[in-house]
Structure 1
Amino acid sequence: MLSGRYRVDSLIGRGGMATVHRGYDLTLGRTVAIKILDRELARDNTFRTRFRLEAQAASRMAHASIVRVYDAGEDLEDDPAGGITHTPFIVMELVRGRLLREIAAEAPLSADDAARYVDGILEALEYSHRAGVVHRDIKPGNVMVTDDGQVKVMDFGIARAVSDTSATVAETTTILGTAAYFSPEQAQGEPVDARADLYSTGVVLYELLTGRPPFVGDSPVSVAYQHVREAPVPPTKRYPEAPAQLDPIVMRALAKDPAQRYPDAATFREALDAALDGRTMSRRQMTNLTDELYGEHRRAQNEIEHTFAELSSDNGVARTQSGPPTAWVWAAIALIIALVAALAFWVIESDPLDLRAADTVDVVDVTGWTASAAERELADDGLEVKVSTQPSDSLPEGTVIETRPAPGTSLELGTHVDILVSDGPLMAAIPSIIGGTEDAARKALDGHDGLQLGRIMPTNDPDAQAGTVLSAEVNGDKVAEGDEVLEGSRVDLTVATGRVTINDLTDMPYEFAKKSFEDLGLTVEQTVDDGCEAGDPLIVETQNPAAGDVDIHSTVTLRVCAPAAEANESGTSDGAEG
């Protein structure tokens, strides 16, 4: 329990500085997601401050395309050493769906599907940027797609208000984000604005269309260098089946110079929408656009490669030159040194980078993924995968519960990894009890391993004998024989009393009273009071039994007042027949 209000349930996911759990808000009675800062990091005031800033930034985001933050706090407990243990946490909306990372891993997407997901990301960014918040870590792993197709951007934990992105903040914070989705300015440790998010969104669009980011490498340093210095290959050249009409959209979004990108998320969305209905660029137009955006980087890249080739002889001895290298060579060398230094700072202050030998791999956290996507991801990493199932009340069928070994464990290629997949909750079938007797239903439920007898609710029914089970309910929903419910459910029974309720219909017209009782399955007998004056209406003087519950199919006797003339005629007629 956190703050005496939030119950912490099963683990959903694990990040660099926090874990996310399914939880329950006891005050409001709703299921939530709870992000809890790692206990080791929670001892550091700096990390706790960053975590609190995350909550403050995210709590301002109230939009359908952004995972909502409900509450934030810090749970304090006395530790055995006499100190205080800090447990900062954030309470968020629980989103049911799939990570965009899982969807992207399955296969390259069509133009319409890729545009739909990216448009959802841009819609969220359009809102957050207006609020003055830059996300700084847009990537498929931070985007959820709900079961009904709604895109939701999550984890504004690396976001900072645009007004706070001063030189001081840039100098005192680590380089944050993920190298594959860095903007060039992030890779160089420079202050960033909303256009950095648009660059990262362009990387996501590229990956959705081709199946991989535009820049990959053996280390984050090499990937970061490519973001800064190398021109991306158009999506159609990477994956010929990619929609050509989106090539210029991607290339504009990935411009090295922020001024050459889309100025804001709204403009990006408009261009994306127009491209779906527009014509494909000609080869010459595409070449001109690429030269406009990346010509300088292409030339610099070629010159660097050419110069370093000249600086090395076949035996590795440098050749003599008539003069020093040109200024751009020194600039390139300085840039590489700056990148290495910045990323080394990231290693020290943030999560360690994977600098181990290439014959090992960390187990990816695939908790919450579909079994097929998780199996494919681990197999692609060079691991042997075995799938087993286990019932789960908290995760839907086919969803990964955990991996063994745990996520983050370093393994040699070819090592065996078990993934435990939810088989869904244990279910029990409703036995044949409806229409039978209460005693038979009690015996059936008492002898059932997975069900319990709940409340017995007596009900008057004009057609059912006493003790007949009229219906069964679980959690307020009616169930029938063979329906499957969660194992351990209580089954409430509605049982007939064998009685029916009648009203007092004295002083009412006889025909009305007769029909009312007969509609309840009762038999009506009539007795006539001959003392009524002529012309009086035929009404009920008395009824037996009186108002209340009576046995079903019983008899109600009504004494009615009949006009004297009718009584005489009735008597004469009876005598004549006799």
Structure 2
Amino acid sequence: MDGTDDDFAVKVLKPEFFHAARVQREIQGLQRFEHPGIVRLFEVRTITLGTESRTALVCEYIEGGSVHDALKAGRLPTKKQAKKFARGLLEAVAELHASETIHRDIKPANIMLRDGDWAKPVLIDFGLARSLSDKTFTRYPARVGSLLWMSPEQLSAERARKASDIWACGVVLHSVVSGEHPFVDMAALDQLDEDELYDLFTVPPKPLPDSAPKSLARLVSRFLTAEPLYSRGTAQRAVTDLKGK
């Protein structure tokens, strides 16, 4: 990185939420990715803040805002943009899964839109990512991820799988197309606990609007299947399906 004029984003992790050794090992594994839909991780550093050592992730800076920002502003994609967004997101997830890596926290706030373009989604924030080939530091049962975007198995405090990332993609795609969460009335969110969320997530999602692209509606329906997990399919299969449309 030295001697460059590039902009960087630096995220300092809170020690109470992240095991430093786990982050060092798992995030360093992501440095090998060179994919337009995956944020470039340049370096993992240990820095000192006061008397504490903290892990800092040095990543590329992505201009354009997140999917969360776009949804909050009511800026939904067109049909064509939505299909390009879905393909870009799923290509990035397929790249991760091909290397036996899972993200575990796919949600609108963790997907940037490069230059504000729906056709250029970029996955960020790999603080919870892990390699399936390595020993995990997480002690199960444990809920890992963000509640509204967790799969039913994650809400049950089970180990996350590739299928858990696929579920999260389904929730994101539904939200992007419809402008609302597929299961939860956000106005009543504060009144729900984890067990109630699980009950909501194991029933069919809200229907997508009739104007939704049929190819995406089929994907969302498949992705948001609580059981069996294999029925959600894979990211690569979904990319292939979208290419054929």
TM-score bucket (shorter structure) = 0.7 to 0.9
CA–CA distance in structure 2, aligned partners of residues 254 and 177 of structure 1: 17
Specify which of 192, 206, 209 is matched with residue 233 of structure 1: 206
Equivalent residue, structure 2, for 1:347? none
Question: Counterparts of 1:310-459 in structure 2 under 5 Å?
Answer: none
Is 1:261 paired with 2:228? no
Partner SS, residue 175 of structure 1: coil
Q: TM-score, normalised by structure 1?
A: 0.38
Number of aligned residue pairs: give it. 235
Is the contact between residue 65 and residue 116 of structure 2 (CA under 8 Å) also seen in structure 1? no
Specify which of 194, 213, 216 is matched with residue 246 of structure 1: 216
Gaps in structure 2 of 5+ consecutive residues: none
Is the contact between residue 66 and residue 154 of structure 1 (CA under 8 Å) also seen in structure 2? yes
Specify which of 127, 130, 151 is matched with residue 160 of structure 1: 130
Is 1:109 paired with 2:77? yes
CA–CA distance in structure 2, aligned partners of residues 187 and 45 of structure 1: 18
AA partner of residue 125 (structure 1): V
Is the contact between residue 27 and residue 129 of structure 2 (CA under 8 Å) also seen in structure 1? no
Distance 1:45 1:191, change over 3 A: closer
Greater RCO (Cα-Cα under 8 Å, separation 6 or more):
2
Q: More deviation in 25-34 or 61-70?
A: 25-34
CA–CA distance in structure 1, aligned partners of residues 123 and 133 of structure 2: 22
**1:202 CA displacement:** 0.9
AA partner of residue 89 (structure 1): A
Distance 1:64 1:241, change over 3 A: closer
CA–CA distance in structure 2, aligned partners of residues 208 and 171 of structure 1: 32
**1:214 CA displacement:** 0.8
**1:55 CA displacement:** 2.5
Q: TM-score, normalised by structure 2?
A: 0.84
Distance 1:31 1:109, change over 3 A: closer
**1:191 CA displacement:** 1.9
**1:62 CA displacement:** 2.3
Partner SS, residue 214 of structure 1: coil
Measured against aligned partners, the alpha-carbon deviations of 1:327-356 in whole angstroms (never above 9, x if no partner) come to: xxxxxxxxxxxxxxxxxxxxxxxxxxxxxx
**1:265 CA displacement:** 1.0
Question: Counterparts of 1:66-145 in structure 2 under 5 Å?
Answer: 66-76=38-48, 84-105=51-72, 106-145=74-113
**Structure label with greater radius of gyration:** 1
Partner SS, residue 147 of structure 1: helix
Please provide the CA RMSD for this pair: 2.5
**1:199 CA displacement:** 1.1
CA–CA distance in structure 1, aligned partners of residues 165 and 193 of structure 2: 19
Measured against aligned partners, the alpha-carbon deviations of 1:437-488 in whole angstroms (never above 9, x if no partner) come to: xxxxxxxxxxxxxxxxxxxxxxxxxxxxxxxxxxxxxxxxxxxxxxxxxxxx
Equivalent residue, structure 2, for 1:341? none
Which is richer in helix?
A: 2
Specify which of 134, 144, 157 is matched with residue 176 of structure 1: 144
Measured against aligned partners, the alpha-carbon deviations of 1:382-439 in whole angstroms (never above 9, x if no partner) come to: xxxxxxxxxxxxxxxxxxxxxxxxxxxxxxxxxxxxxxxxxxxxxxxxxxxxxxxxxx
Distance 1:157 1:235, change over 3 A: same
AA partner of residue 223 (structure 1): L
Is the contact between residue 34 and residue 90 of structure 1 (CA under 8 Å) also seen in structure 2? yes
Is the contact between residue 182 and residue 224 of structure 1 (CA under 8 Å) also seen in structure 2? no
Equivalent residue, structure 1, for 2:154? 186
AA partner of residue 198 (structure 2): A
**1:231 CA displacement:** 1.8
Is the contact between residue 100 and residue 141 of structure 1 (CA under 8 Å) also seen in structure 2? yes
Question: Counterparts of 1:60-71 in structure 2 under 5 Å?
Answer: 60-71=32-43
Partner SS, residue 176 of structure 1: coil
CA–CA distance in structure 1, aligned partners of residues 20 and 53 of structure 2: 9
**1:120 CA displacement:** 1.1
